[in-house]
Amino acid sequence: MRPVYDLPAEFLAAVQSYLPDSAGTYAAQLLWQRGLRDVQQLAGFVDANAYTPTSPFEFGLEMQRAVERLLHAHQRQERVAIWGDFDVDGITATAVLWDGLSEFFPPPQLTYVIPNRLTESHGLSLAGIDRLAKQGYSLIVTCDTGSTQFAELAYAQQHGIEVIVTDHHVLAEERPPVVALLNPRVFSADHPLAHLAGVAVAYKLMEALYETLPQVPRRPVKELLDLVAIGLIADLAQLTGDCRYLAQRGIAYLQSYAEQDIPPRPGIAHLLHFCRRSGDRPTDISFGLGPRINAVSRIQGDAHFCVELLTSRDPERSRQLAEATELANTRRRSLQRQVLQQVKSKLQHVDLSTTGVIVLSDPQWSVGILGLVAGQIAQEYGRPTILLSSEGAADQGGQSAGLARGSARSVEGIDLYQLIQQQAHLLHRFGGHPLAAGLSLPVENIPLLSEALNQQILSQNAIGGRVGSLSADLTVPVAALGRSLFRELKLLEPCGIGNPVPKLLIQNCWFRRVWHKKISDYRGQPVEYIKTEFELCDDSCDLGFPGTWWGHYKDELPSGRCDAIVELDFNSYEDAKRQKRYEVRLIAVRPAVGVVAASPPARDWIRDWILDGRGRLAANLPSDAGILQVTTCPRCWEELQAWCRRAAQTGQRLALAYGNPVQRSAAACWQQLVGIAKYLSRTQTVATRQQLLENLQISDVALQFGLESLSLLGFRCSWLEQPSEQGTTLALQVIGQFAPVTDSALRSAMTQFIEVVQEEQFRQRYFYEVPLATIQDWAARLPLNSQSTAE
């Protein structure tokens, strides 16, 4: 927790003047602890109308050269190419330049290049320059790239192509051979332009061009601000100075979409519809638009059409592109979940006590989503994380060949760029920021890189005490959650690096009405991605407060009292299934401080009591008669809990000894069930419950749903007692199809059963992939009374 300050009355009064319906104490506390303590500065921070934006010509001679070269190209009708990047900053920057320069250069004179994320690297390429030269282009304007690409820039110069660089990445000591270099890193850290992202630098160039030739453009330059806001917020830019001002203006422009019958950018409007957002919140960008735009290159590699998605005025074409983007995001979610589980599984075999930087690789990982997973791992484990796809295959001599490519993410206080740069001799290519980077290196250098980085960071004592810590900005009760607090926190928006979304600590709370479900895509199809919904409660009020925990199952929430870190938001999207509401996003949860857990000593012995023999790990299980083996992959936590109780009662250790579940399609399972029903009806025979479960490979719950579904088709199903060696057993009797079946009845029956089976199969894959530590932590909370037995 942050310290609580005794705030000056003048400052508190100034904050309260913006919040007539609230006390303003929470907002004032946050602003003060984040260093904004000058009443004069407060107005420009809170209200964009009170801020004086910096002139684009603050870039000095470089901006003058850039504008003069564009004017020259306009007068001579030269062919101009925009060279962008495949992430959301690069895509939106390209869209800004495309829309902006199109006012001066008709499309036959103007084109853009977006590298393929999966087959190419960031930045200019010799092959791309060759293609542009052959097509007669004489000027390239880069965005979000180019500052240090001396070889490529010299190559362009040799081929008669001049270059204007707009970028925000690290500068070299020497100036590259370009017409103009627009990079905010030339400014001191406290300059209002110092933290511009690539999209904002591109906008400043357009601002200068429009100011110099105001008679040419048909639309005002401010109509580009919605694109700027998307790029700034999705790229997690530091929103101070002009960055904050541009984001505020852009969000205000996005908000106007809802008031217009025909939105100015129908592609953005369609994306907002698919992610069930209205566009009036910064989180609509960070959790809605940004991930979807990024997903295209992560999954398909080629994100070229994203620029058209953001700039097209054709509603039908925009809808088609938005649907393609949404499908890519659906696939991204599924891949991200799978790789995250695989990374956590690998980490079970890593001694984290001696690991300062996590470096892992796998030949099967998709390069496009490694940055997302690395960010999740870095945040959860408190260590810089590098994940690599080792694409190179072994040569005939057994040696690794080829390059590994991947992404790195850091944690607060550790400059990842500087850390990796010191090992540049091991790398093929590398670039990025203090908190995020992309890299490639020979596969055989991966162990060397891991060892060198760990020696380097551990010698600096940079990691100690970071893992598992929970930090929050404010402590509030559940009763404080809602409209009033939201309005106070909204005063700090838009948030970003240096001004993060406020994290709220709710102490001694509990969860109720907990439920998880797989989310659906825009077509209603289930997605391999889970979310848990709940109500958050404490002793401050009788009513619970709604919330969501993305990517987690309900069983991962503690059953008793706990401390929770949440973020408060307002979702203004409304349709037939959902109303506008204030809600929280769960960030982290831990046992309540001072509250005794259900089995406090369990964590000491549970790691020796539950063993992992899943899949290939089965060979590592000890040949011990005192081990109870779970050989069938569970479908729910209740099944696993029954095994835990059985092991505790018999004084045995528990081994997860099941393999990767072999699963048929749910549709094939449905067809088999209908076939069995027809057979039993036709032959007037019966089938035992066990025979049905073994043949269909489903649970009792799914079987019951299946029988209910058969009744919709006209089958009458009943259970009969039959004699058996154990006494009696239940057998299914089916009496034939009485009513003609309509298409809608068939569809309804089939959908109900298939969804249940798919959910079971999803859960089985989860129990095969879930880290052993997660199961051990869950088991530690069970009231098994088994500690003495286990010891």
HEC sequence for 690-755: HHHHHHHCCCHHHHHHHHHHHHHCCCEEEEEEEEECCEEEEEEEEECCCCCCCHHHHHHHHHHHHH
Comparing C-alpha atoms, which of 368, 438, 389, 447 is closest to residue 410?
438
Spell out the residues 6+ positions from residue 754 whose beta carbon is closer than 8 angstroms to its own. Answer: 666, 667, 669, 670
398: pLDDT strictly greater than 50: no
- pTM for the whole structure: 0.68
Q: Which residues contact 544 (CB under 8 A, 6 or more apart)?
A: 478, 512, 513, 534, 535, 536, 537
| Stretch among 510-514, 561-565, 574-578 having the lowest mean pLDDT | 574-578
The answer to whether 89 and 299 are in contact (CB under 8 A) is no
10 Å CB burial of residue 708 (0-12, 13-18, 19+) is middle
The pLDDT of residue 781 is 61
Is-contact 118 440, C-beta < 8 A?
no
Give the separation between CA 578 and CA 546, rounded to whole angstroms: 13
Question: What confidence score (pLDDT) does residue 105 get?
Answer: 95
pLDDT, residue 524, reads: 58
Inter-CA distances, 102 with 73, 94, 605, Å: 13, 12, 67
Pick from 163-167, 170-174, 250-254: least confident? 170-174
Q: Do 318 and 309 form a contact (C-beta atoms < 8 A)? A: yes
Is 518 in contact with 487 (CB distance < 8 Å)?
Answer: no
Phi, psi of 569 (to 5 degrees): -145, 170
Q: 562-571 and 504-520: which strand pairing? A: antiparallel
pLDDT reported for residue 713: 80
Residue type, 113: V
Q: What is the pLDDT averaged over residues 105-110? A: 91
Average confidence (pLDDT) over 38-55: 91
> What number is the average pLDDT over the span 73-91?
95
Given pLDDT bands bounded at 50, 70 and 90, which one contains residue 537?
A: very high
* Residue 768, token pair as written in the block: 């095969």
Distance CA 641, CA 757 (A): 21
CB 168 within 8 A of CB 197: yes
Examine the pLDDT at 551 and tell me if it is beyond 50. Answer: yes
User: What would the pLDDT profile of 667-716 be if each residue is shown by its tens digit?
Assistant: 888 888 988 988 898 888 988 888 888 888 888 778 887 888 888 788 88
Compute the distance between CA of residue 306 and CA of residue 292 in angstroms, rounded to an integer. 10
Q: What is the pLDDT of residues 469-506, one digit of tens each?
A: 457 888 899 999 998 999 999 999 998 777 888 999 99
What is residue 545's predicted lDDT score, i.e. its pLDDT? 94
What does pLDDT average to over the chain? 84
Residue 393 has pLDDT above 70, yes or no: no
The residues, ordered by sequence, that sit 6+ positions from 328 with a Cβ below 8 Å of its Cβ are: 292, 295, 296, 298, 299, 300
Confidence at residue 721, expressed as pLDDT on a 0 to 100 scale: 79
Q: Find the helix packing angle between 602-609 and 772-780, rounded to 10°.
A: 130
pLDDT of residue 711: 81
Token pair for residue 611? 């063993």
Residue labelled with tokens 């569970």:
634
Q: Please give the average per-residue pLDDT across 355-382, as a whole number.
A: 90
**What integer pLDDT is reported at residue 100 of this predicted model?**
96
- 770 or 365, greater pLDDT: 365
pLDDT at 45 over 60: yes
| Residues 672, 693: Cα–Cα separation, whole Å | 12
H helices of 610-650, in order, are 637-650
Specify the pLDDT at position 155.
95
pLDDT tens column, 611-659: 888 887 777 777 766 888 888 888 877 788 788 888 887 778 888 988 8
Q: From CA 381, how far away is CA 706, in angstroms rounded?
A: 43
Which has more confidence, 56 or 401?
56
674-707 burial string, b = 16+ CB within 10 Å, else e?
A: bebbbebbeeeebbeeeebeeebbbbeebbebbb
Residues 6+ positions from 215 with CB-CB distance below 8 Å: none
Spatial CB neighbours of 648, under 8 Å, sequence gap ≥ 6: 784, 785, 786, 789, 790
How many angstroms separate the CA atoms of 495 and 236, rounded?
8
Phi-psi group of 543: left, alpha or beta (phi > 0 → left; psi -120 to 50 → alpha; rest → beta): beta
pLDDT surpassing 50 at residue 565: yes
**Residue 515 exposed, middle or buried by CB count within 10 Å (0-12, 13-18, 19+):** exposed
**Confidence class of residue 528 from pLDDT cuts 50, 70 and 90?**
low
**346, exposed or middle or buried, with CB in 10 Å at 0-12, 13-18, 19+?**
middle
Q: How far apart are CA 216 and CA 133, in angstroms?
A: 28
At position 456, the amino acid (one-letter code) is: Q
Q: Is the pLDDT of residue 3 over 50?
A: no
At 765, is the secondary structure helix, strand, or coil?
helix
Beta carbons within 8 Å of 741's beta carbon, 6+ residues apart: 713, 714
Please enumerate, as own/partner, the contacts of 772-779 that have beta carbons within 8 Å and a separation of 24 or more. 772/348, 772/610, 772/612, 772/656, 773/344, 773/348, 774/344, 774/556, 775/610, 775/640, 775/656, 776/606, 776/607, 776/610, 777/603, 777/606, 778/555, 778/556, 778/637, 779/602, 779/606, 779/609, 779/610, 779/644
- Residue 652 in contact with residue 626, Cβ under 8 Å? yes
**Backbone torsion region of residue 29, taken as left when φ is above 0, otherwise alpha when ψ lies between -120 and 50, otherwise beta:** alpha
Instruction: Say whether pLDDT at 21 is over 50.
Output: yes
Give CA–CA dist 163/73, Å, rounded.
Answer: 12
What are 719's strand-pairing partners?
732
Residues 264 and 254: their CA atoms lie apart, in Å, by: 10
Average pLDDT over residues 179-198: 94
| Residue 293 Cα to chain centre, angstroms | 12
pLDDT at 2 over 50: no
Percent of residues, the chain, with pLDDT higher than 70: 87
Mean pLDDT of 159-181: 93
pLDDT of residue 583: 92
| Closest among 271, 335, 270 to 299, alpha carbons compared | 335
Question: CA–CA distance from 651 to each of 599, 621, 786 (Å)?
Answer: 17, 18, 8
- 209-264: pLDDT as tens digits: 999 999 999 999 999 999 999 999 988 888 889 999 999 999 999 888 767 778 89
Write down the number of H helices and E strands in the chain.
27, 22
> What is the per-residue pLDDT for 770?
74
Q: What is the dihedral of CA 288, 294, 297, 298, to 10 degrees?
A: -90
Q: Give me the mean pLDDT over the 191-217 stretch.
A: 95
Q: Around Cβ 615, how many Cβ atoms within 10 Å?
A: 15
Q: How confident is the model at residue 720 (pLDDT cuts 50, 70, 90)?
A: confident
Q: Which residues contact 659 (CB under 8 A, 6 or more apart)?
A: 614, 615, 618, 633, 768
Residue 564 β-bridge partners = 506, 589
Over residues 54-64, the pLDDT tens digits come to 999 999 999 99
Distance, in Å, from the CA atom of 615 to the CA atom of 634, rounded to the nearest integer, reads 14
Question: How far, CA to CA in Å, does 96 sit from each of 81, 100, 202, 732?
Answer: 13, 6, 7, 66
The CA-to-CA distance between both ends of the chain, in Å, stands at 38
**Given the structure tokens 């010891």, which residue do they identify?**
791
Q: Is the pLDDT of residue 400 over 60?
A: no
Strands (E), 551-704: 562-571, 581-591, 610-612, 627-630, 653-656, 686-688
